[in-house]
Amino acid sequence: MSSPSNNIAVNAPTAGRALVTPRQLTLVLVVALALAWGFLPEFTVSVLSNIGLYALVAAGLVMLTGVGGMTSFGQAAFVGMGAYATAWICTSPTAAAWLGGAVGPALLPWAVLLLALWALHNLLDSREGRAIRALKGGRLMAESMGVDTARHRIKLFVLAALLAAVSGWLYAHLQRFVNPSPFNLNIGIELLFMAVVGGAGHLWGAVLGATLITLLKEKLQDVLPALLGTSGNFEVIVFGLLMLFVLQRFADGLWPTLARLTSRWVRNDARKEIPTASKAAPAQLAQRTLPATGELLLQASDVSKRFGGLVANNAISMTLKAGEIHALIGPNGAGKSTFFNMISGVDDPTSGEVRLSGQSMTTKPSRAFAALGLGRTFQHVRLLGQRSVVENVALGAHLRAKRGWLAAMLRLDRAEEAALMAEARRQIERCGLGAHADTPAASLSLGQQRVVEIARALAGQPSVLLLDEPAAGLRHLEKRALSVLLSQLRAEGLGILVVEHDMEFVMNLADRITVLEFGTVIATGTPAEVQANPRVLEAYLGGADDELLEDAR
Ligand code: ADP
Ligand code: MG
């Protein structure tokens, strides 16, 4: 079990001499802005409030583009909808009187922006935030973790549209009149520039981008026509060139560079701030009662898969029981990964049936497999490389928690989040990667990344574990540690199906082995039986796969 002191240790400052935390800096800037506001010239105030309005839309685009991996040129249309709806619903004099009474109305965009940034920041630092980030890694991985990707994409799109509409609503109140020119495609593209130039993956990048582009636009609108001797929207061309330049030199936008340059003064701790036990007593995550040893977990009956004329899987039947390690071996191209996809819901069999824990899984999506206790790793590692190991592993426990977007935005999910983090750390420790929990996943060796995937699968408390070449890239001692871990899991009652090329590893570990060749099962039995099988010897020594030949010796 992970102790409370574990959690606290994670929060220990690392950057030593830095003067302020980002939070303190934000607070100082906000207070300074609020104090200065009354003394600023009217023109500056109007530019500032425009920046606030743009940054609000750009923040939605950062979520959509940089975080979620989607894109939209049409955000300006949602701004327009918000503006027109406002103009239509309330007549502006009363609205202006209402707003003007309470706060300086030009300050309102910034108040709303800061509130939105706070909520979005909270959202990203949550279970649902990890699911949103997983969207960028593609459907396959996210769905295997139990994330409903279609639903999250729609919600993310609606969120970005709402932020744009709120910006339009504020705009209508501030301008007191509405015309269509600010909501055209050009503005849509400018808004995208702001998100990308600032830093598509960073919320504060939206503010930086909105500031830069707005100020630049003001300048260019004065300078360019005079320079070229004719009027027109030339600034769009300059923005295009600027974006090319920024993307060339700063692939992630300007924000990460700014953060690095200021790191001497601002503590930019990449570590995730973890809710400590004192702040929030960990909630209970959903627990699965593991099946009794020997119980049938997974059953494939005559599973076939055709790709056009190619029969990748030819009527494969096999079972996996609780408390056993079953190895699937065969030369490259034999159909092992295809079979994994069939029994994890990634792809539907052309014919045949897959049953998981007694249920027929025909046409069910992979998140339904995950919900029934199937955890898996991928032959080609699928991690969120920029995120820490602990965040990656916590994604594996997605289905064991339930707090939604709103709860996350309002920070009502802290107890559950603490439990998720504790569970993730426990699995990381168990897999021997404790020292790397807070490093970005991409900075680990490929072999270690495979182990991170195992920890991620274990965080889901699976009863069935599918491992596609888990020992590839591991060094000798790491392989031995993996062997010990898998034996331990077997003793706890998991059913493990493993594809692996390392014959020594397989023969020492597996209870049963199924051998595939050209999509067909050519042998099945104990390691000793399979090793003595003439068909297997022929398949391996027939020179189909040099690597296997080496291993078989
Ligand atoms: P293994 O994992 O045993 O090396 P695979 O299951 O990856 O083998 O591939 C089995 C065969 O199916 C190969 O001939 C491969 O080229 C083919 N194959 C796999 N996936 C596809 C696909 N999506 N479309 C067409 N052919 C595929
Ligand atoms: Mg494969």
For residue 337, the CA-to-ligand 1 centroid distance in Å is: 7
- The whole-number pLDDT of residue 179 equals 63
pLDDT in tens, 31-88: 888 888 778 888 888 888 889 999 999 999 999 988 998 887 788 888 888 888 877 7
Residues of the chain above pLDDT 70, percent: 87
pLDDT in tens, 399-412: 999 999 999 999 99
The residue to mutate among 307, 313, 514, having the most atoms of ligand 1 within 8 angstroms of its beta carbon, is 307
H or E stretch covering 517: strand 512-517
φ and ψ of 179, to 5 deg: -135, 160
Question: Is 167's pLDDT higher than 80?
Answer: yes
The ligand 1 atom at the shortest distance from the C-alpha of residue 340 is 6
Angle subtended by helix axes 149-175 and 108-124, to nearest 10: 170
**Nearest CA residue ID for atom 17, ligand 1:** 312
**Nearest CA residue ID for atom 12, ligand 1:** 312
Q: Report d(CA 481, CA 495) in Å as an integer.
A: 19
Please say whether the beta carbons of 225 and 238 come within 8 A. no
Angle subtended by helix axes 476-492 and 446-459, to nearest 10: 10
How many C-beta neighbours within 10 Å does residue 280 have?
16
Question: Is 1's pLDDT higher than 80?
Answer: no
Residues of the chain above pLDDT 90, percent: 57
pLDDT in tens, 8-40: 333 334 444 567 787 888 888 888 888 887 788
Q: Report d(CA 396, CA 441) in Å as an integer.
A: 14
pLDDT in tens, 286-313: 998 888 999 999 999 999 999 999 999 9
Top pLDDT among 373 and 176 is at 373
Question: Is 281's pLDDT higher than 70?
Answer: no
**Nearest CA residue ID for atom 22, ligand 1:** 307
Q: Report d(CA 70, CA 136) in Å as an integer.
A: 8
Average pLDDT, the chain: 86
- pTM > 0.85: yes
- The whole-number pLDDT of residue 131 equals 97
**Nearest CA residue ID for atom 21, ligand 1:** 307
User: Strand order of the sheet with strand 359-360?
Assistant: 310-321, 296-307, 351-356, 359-360
- The whole-number pLDDT of residue 274 equals 54
Q: Which of 51-60, 253-262, 369-378, 493-502 has the lowest mean pLDDT?
A: 253-262
Residues touching ligand 1 (Cβ under 6 Å) are 307, 310, 312, 330, 332-338
How many C-beta neighbours within 10 Å does residue 240 have?
12
The ligand 1 atom at the shortest distance from the C-alpha of residue 313 is 10
Residue type present at position 180: P
- The whole-number pLDDT of residue 159 equals 96
- The whole-number pLDDT of residue 54 equals 93
How many C-beta neighbours within 10 Å does residue 353 have?
14
At residue 369 the predicted structure's pLDDT band, cuts being 50, 70 and 90, is very high
- The whole-number pLDDT of residue 12 equals 39
Top pLDDT among 26 and 274 is at 26
- The whole-number pLDDT of residue 488 equals 94
Q: Report d(CA 342, CA 72) in Å as an integer.
A: 34
> Which structure tokens are listed for 168?
């339009």
- The whole-number pLDDT of residue 431 equals 94
- The whole-number pLDDT of residue 542 equals 61
Over residues 522-551, the mean pLDDT reads: 76
- The whole-number pLDDT of residue 10 equals 38
Question: Is 417's pLDDT higher than 90?
Answer: yes
The ligand 1 atom at the shortest distance from the C-alpha of residue 332 is 4
Over residues 206-211, the mean pLDDT reads: 92
- The whole-number pLDDT of residue 401 equals 95
Over residues 440-457, the mean pLDDT reads: 95
- The whole-number pLDDT of residue 453 equals 97
| Burial of 377 from C-beta contacts in 10 A (0-12 / 13-18 / 19+) | buried
Q: Report d(CA 175, CA 290) in Å as an integer.
A: 62
Top pLDDT among 291 and 454 is at 454
The ligand 1 atom at the shortest distance from the C-alpha of residue 308 is 25
Q: 3-state class of 347 per DSSP? A: coil
Please say whether the beta carbons of 112 and 95 come within 8 A. no
> Which structure tokens are listed for 309?
């004329």
Question: Is 248's pLDDT higher than 60?
Answer: yes
